[in-house]
Amino acid sequence: MDRGEKLVLVDVREPWEYELCRIEGAKLVPLGSLAANVGGLLGVDEVICYCHHGMRSLDAAAWLRFQGIEKAKSLSGGIERWSTDVDPHVPRY
């Protein structure tokens, strides 16, 4: 991730889920590897995390805020809601 980016969309799902479907432009950082990759997010203005339904991303966003990334947020409803409400071309699983 490039420092100085305004917004980064972070997919905290597992690689197999990312292969099934993803939001264009998202960066895959599975929840289990978030701690090892937090340094790459420190210079970003805003981080939006997402997962399948929104539970893992809530944990990820809360943890990132605790690490000092104040504008870390979770995409409500995850990629499932994105597919139904925003982009029906994103496959559901």
pLDDT digits (tens, 9 = 90+) for 18-75: 999 999 999 999 999 999 999 999 889 999 999 999 999 999 999 999 999 999 999 9
Q: Which domain holds residue 41?
A: 7-84
pTM of the predicted protein model: 0.92
CATH of residue 33? 3.40.250.10
Give which of 16, 21, 35 is closest to 84, Cα–Cα. 21
Task: For residue 11, give both structure tokens.
Answer: 């997919």
Residue 31 lies in a domain: yes
How many separate domains does the chain show? 1
pLDDT exceeds 80 at position 3: no
With CA atoms as reference, report the closest residue to 42 among 71, 15, 16, 19.
71
In a domain, residue 15? The reply is yes
Give the pLDDT of residue 42.
87
pLDDT at 91: 96
Would the pLDDT of 13 be above 60?
yes
Rg of the chain (C-alpha set):
12
Q: What is the pLDDT of residue 43?
A: 86
pLDDT for position 55: 97
Q: What is the pLDDT of residue 14?
A: 98
Burial track 49-71 (b if 16+ CB lie within 10 A, e otherwise): bbbbebebbbebbebbeeeebee
- Rounded distance between C-alpha atoms, residue 75 and residue 87, angstroms: 14
In a domain, 89, yes or no: no
**Catalytic sites, residue numbers:** 51
